[in-house]
Amino acid sequence: MKSGRVALIVDDEKQIRRLLRLALERADHQVYEAETGQAGLEAIAQRRPDIVLLDLGLPDMEGVKVLRRLREWSDVPVVILSVRDDAEEKVEALDAGADDYVTKPFDTAELLARVRATQRRSLTETGDPVFQSGSLCVDFSARQVKRGGVEIRLTPTEYSLLRVLVQNAGKVVTQRQLLRTVWGEKAESQAQYLRVYVTHLRKKLETDTNAPSLIKTEVGIGYRLSAEKL
């Protein structure tokens, strides 16, 4: 009987994808493939795999960048497959959220054992890449923000700030936590950074900046993003 487990291979090398597909299908996985990082992110959002096998050298973006974007909204287990065996590369990938790192060429039996171990350790479900509150829609897999169906252009800092608020939607996020997450630990006392960028976000996302309904100020504490879905 099939287990119903779903695997996604993100690799631009056809022969590797074929090898992995055969091995995973023999291990009772339903297998999907993607040749680019962006296609991989979209497939994860659509297919909700139980395991992702991710190459670092993709044609459109580095695998580590794919991983960082994925970790903005999902805890799906990820095993890196790469010809790169440099210790710094491995550390960077693991720090970015990889669950394991396997160097090519690899032994198929060992790889499957690592896949099984990674899946056993993972108890979390893949998150939803799309957040909606009122007229605001944030698609993490596409890194796209819309208000009333119209795309809103955000700077990298604005996007990072909004991402933290979305990840904690409905909860109060302290000023210190926002400053530390978006700007780093050295910025924890620089509350003016936060006020300026919250103002920028409100101008782009709120219907009425004088009476904000999306990003609420919790006086003396921090900010809270409304999680109300209208």
Q: State the pLDDT at residue 209.
A: 83
* Helix ranges (DSSP H) in 27-172: 37-47, 63-70, 87-95, 108-121, 156-167
Would you state the CATH architecture of domain 130-225? Orthogonal Bundle (1.10)
Name the 3-class secondary structure at 36.
Answer: coil
Cα–Cα–Cα angle for 164, 166, 168, nearest 5°? 75
Q: How many CB atoms lie within 10 A of CB 169?
A: 17
pLDDT tops 70 at residue 25: yes
Q: State the pLDDT at residue 211.
A: 86
Contacts of 200 (CB under 8 A, 6+ apart): 155, 158
pLDDT tops 50 at residue 230: no
Q: What is the pLDDT of residues 196-225, one digit of tens each?
A: 999 999 999 998 888 888 999 998 899 999
2 confidence band (pLDDT: 50, 70, 90): very low
Residue among 56, 50, 61 at smallest CA distance from 28: 50
122 confidence band (pLDDT: 50, 70, 90): low
**CA 43, 49, 53, 54 torsion: positive or negative?**
positive
Distance, C-alpha 143 to centroid of its chain: 10
Over its C-alpha atoms, the chain yields an Rg (Å, rounded) of: 20
Taking the domains of the chain in order of start, what are their residue ranges? 5-121, 130-225
Strand order in the sheet with 144-147: 130-133, 136-139, 144-147, 150-151
Q: 5-121 — its CATH code?
A: 3.40.50.2300
> Average pLDDT in the 145-170 region?
91
User: How far is the CA of 44 from the CAs of 7, 112, 130, 140, 180, in angstroms?
Assistant: 10, 20, 12, 11, 29
Q: What is the pLDDT of residues 32-71, one digit of tens each?
A: 999 999 999 999 999 999 999 999 999 999 999 999 999 8
Residue among 126, 134, 136 at smallest CA distance from 70: 126
Question: Whole-prediction pTM value?
Answer: 0.70
Angstrom distance (rounded) from CA 182 to CA 99: 24
Q: What is the pLDDT of residues 86-115, one digit of tens each?
A: 899 999 999 999 999 999 999 999 999 999
